[in-house]
Amino acid sequence: MNTAGSSESAKGVGPSVVGRLVRDRSVRLAAGLAVAIAIPVAVLFYFQFRSISDLSKSSTVVLKQLSRETAEGLMRSVQDALKQPYITTLLRTTQQQTEPLNLTVIAPTFDLGLEQQPFVDRFYVWSDVGPTHRNEVLAYDRVSHGFRGDVSEGELLVTRFHELSKQKRAITMFEATIDGRRTYFQAQIRFMTPAREQMSSFVALRVDAERLRREYFPKFLADKLKDVEGPIGFPPLLVTLIDGDKRVISSGGKPASSHFENERTFPLVFFDPELISFAAPEGHPPEQWRIQTGYGEQTIPQIIAARERPQHAMMAMLAGAMALGIFFFARTTARELRVAELKSNFVSSVSHDLKTPLALIQLFAETLELGRLKNTERANEYYRIINGEARKLTRLINNLLDFSKIEAGLRRYKLEPVNLAAMTRGVLESLQSQFQHNQFTVTTKLDEHVTASIDPEAAVQALENLLSNAMKYSPEHREIVVEVDRTDGYGVVRVRDRGIGIPPRFRRKIFNKFFRVQHDGGSGPHGTGLGLAIVEHVMRGHDGFVRVESEPGRGSTFTLHFRLFAGESHGDETDTGDRGRTADVARTA
Ligand code: ADP
């Protein structure tokens, strides 16, 4: 009748972890749900990742383009600005106006030139033709606002332009130091004849090299850059202007960018550079200036990488959080589904555990009632069976009632000093008919002097649950050892069986409500999965604990640790353990 008799092997817990997981419906369902979330999320992440990389590519293009176009545009603007005085003043002052000199016509052109070209300090006009100011250099500047002769640098100008005119070029330039300042001079030379043998007049301009570098160009570049707008969220575009001596003109003397993306070179001439071949150089080619554009310390790939980094980090964090969420979701779902499954198993187990003893009680009671039994020994055995089955029913109902109390948080324990050996003996006696009936050998080793603080009813129930499990899960070697002693300062009751044992991975779980080790094909003893959950609750209620040691196929040992009663003499604790122990008692069926 008792399921303890069923043949169950210790390794009957499934072929492999993976195999079991795949068979587990709740795990499959949870995995399906997790995949249903994981795949769309992964697709979303993929597109997000793609859009970041697309954005990076287009940002790279924009940054490169901005740098290239700015360098190109600035170079053109600088060249346009530099050639303005040549176009608007030197060319506009025609040979008719200078030969002979017509100062009233020239004056407004010079005025306009000074107004529009701030880097020009002075205009000059010289003519070898005409009645007035012949062979005299006349200067026109912002201070005089009119022509004046007696120009200190006049002789230099006439001498040098005469020399340069021998090259027969109309555009002529040279550099000189005037009053200790580096100065550029450029002239438009007119010749007597088309053969250009003799210079007849010139119109010239003067530029202070230092003022050009210190004042004009920095302001010019600042004005131009005001309109340059880079993409939002990226470092601004920086521009460096470098003169022919490699001196940095803009950005306070040092290059704005340690890496430049683009560079444009242009000659420092105050006319259209395309005309350079028509100009009379001073013997060496004009200074080559450079415009560089860049984004500071970083190259474009570095900027893009730095911008991508937080986005990637964010995505990684999100992906991690998602994965964690999916993991917990799947775990919780699997757990919930398993609990639901366990609960449904529980209901069928309870029905079974109620029906079996009732059927037996009914059967034996009816037999006794009919009075057919002549043999009193037989009758006594039937009474014992009825009694044992009734106890089983009581234990089951107690477990159910206690469990609902525990769940509702209503289970209270009333502790009192109890002799553990006496309590254990009582429990063993009450179960004796079951031991006998199931042919179990129970060996005891009880230290009579251990008194613990115990709620007797709850402790009896815990011990009964352990003994009932020892019977249920010992199909072959029907031997149970029960010990009472003192270990590590606790009063201890130990139940040792030689049954199927518990695989290590379940040793914690068996104390969870409804949890039952699944056996192959659902064979094995019936149960509600509440017994050990109640044992653990009872032990916690006693400020003690329950320990399990087990070896699959060889048996299990459950040990209840109770707090010793505070009034116990200390001497007992140091007892060797032999004193007061009963001799080993063998109760055999
Ligand atoms: P039930 O016995 O009703 O299934 P329990 O909570 O008492 O529930 O036990 C939980 C599970 O622990 C059992 O299903 C069984 O697999 C395992 N178990 C408990 N005691 C033993 C034991 N002495 N030997 C082997 N397995 C045990």
List pLDDT tens digits, range 364-381: 899 888 887 778 888 888
The pLDDT, as a whole number, for residue 252 is 52
User: Which residue has the least CA distance to atom 3 on ligand 1?
Assistant: 527
Nearest CA to ligand 1 atom 21: 469
Instruction: Supply the residue whose CA is at minimum distance from atom 7 of ligand 1.
Output: 531
Question: Is the distance from the beta carbon of residue 502 to the nearest atom of ligand 1 less than 6 Å?
Answer: yes
Does any ligand 1 atom lie closer than 6 A to the CB of residue 471?
Answer: no
User: How far, in Å, from the CA of 458 to the mean position of ligand 1?
Assistant: 18
Rounded to 5 degrees, what angle do the CA atoms 268, 209, 243 make?
50
**Is residue 470 lining ligand 1, measured as CB closer than 6 Å?**
yes
Rounded-to-integer distance, Cα 213 and Cα 263, Å: 19
Is pLDDT above 80 for 521?
no
pLDDT score of 387: 87
Q: What is the pLDDT of residue 21?
A: 58
Ligand 1 centroid, distance to 529 Cα (angstroms): 7
- The pLDDT, as a whole number, for residue 73 is 93
What pLDDT does residue 231 have?
A: 79
pLDDT at 404: 80
User: Is 524:8 a contact under the CB 8 Å cutoff?
Assistant: yes
The full 3-state SS of 24-88, as one line of letters, equals CHHHHHHHHHHHHHHHHHHHHHHHHHHHHHHHHHHHHHHHHHHHHHHHHHHHHHHHHHHHHHHHH
CA 403 to centroid of chain Cα atoms: 44
Predicted confidence band of residue 472 (pLDDT cuts 50, 70, 90):
very high
Residue located nearest, by CA, to atom 25 of ligand 1: 501
Distance 473 CA to ligand 1 centre (A): 7
564 CA → ligand 1 middle, Å: 27
The strand pairing partners of 433, in sequence order, are none
Query: Which candidate, 382, 477, 388, places its Cα nearest to that of 439?
Result: 477
CA of 353 to the centre of ligand 1 (A): 14
The tokens describing 77, both together, are 């603007």
Choose which residue among 466, 473, 478 to substitute to test ligand 1 binding: the one with the highest number of ligand atoms within 8 A of its C-beta: 473
Amino acid 283: pLDDT: 59
Query: What whole-number percentage of the chain has pLDDT above 90?
Result: 47
Residue to mutate, 356, 474, 502, 507, ligand 1, most ligand atoms under 8 Å from C-beta: 502
Q: Distance between alpha carbon 166 and the CA centroid of its chain, in Å?
A: 76
What is residue 473's DSSP assignment? T
pTM over 0.75: no
The atom of ligand 1 lying closest to the CA of 500 is 25
Query: Confidence band (pLDDT; 50, 70, 90) for 257?
Result: low
Give, as one character, the DSSP assignment of residue 215: I
What integer pLDDT is reported at residue 227 of this predicted model?
Answer: 79
Å from CA of 338 to ligand 1 middle: 17
**pLDDT, tens digit, for every residue of 549-558?**
999 999 999 9
pLDDT value at position 573?
38
Q: Does ligand 1 have an atom closer than 6 angstroms to the CB of 534?
A: no
Q: How far is the CA of 559 from the centre of ligand 1 (A)?
A: 14
Tokens 């001073």 -> residue? 282
Mean pLDDT for the stretch of residues 252-276: 81
Which residue did the predictor score with more confidence, 228 or 541?
541
Cβ 12 under 6 angstroms from ligand 1: no
